[in-house]
Amino acid sequence: MLRNATKRILGGFETRAAQAQVRCYHERVVDHYNNPRNVGAFDKNDPTVGTGLVGAPACGDVMKLQIKVDEETGKITDACFKTFGCGSAIASSSVATEWVKGKQMEEVLTIKNTEIAKHLSLPPVKLHCSMLAEDAIKAAVKDYETKRGKSVANPSVKAAEA
Catalytic residue numbers read: 59, 129
How far is 56 from 62, CA to CA, in rounded Å? 7
User: What length does the chain have?
Assistant: 162
**Residue 49, beta-bridge partner list:** 68
DSSP string, 92-139: HHHHHHHHHTT-BHHHHTT--HHHHHHHHT--GGGHHHHHHHHHHHHH
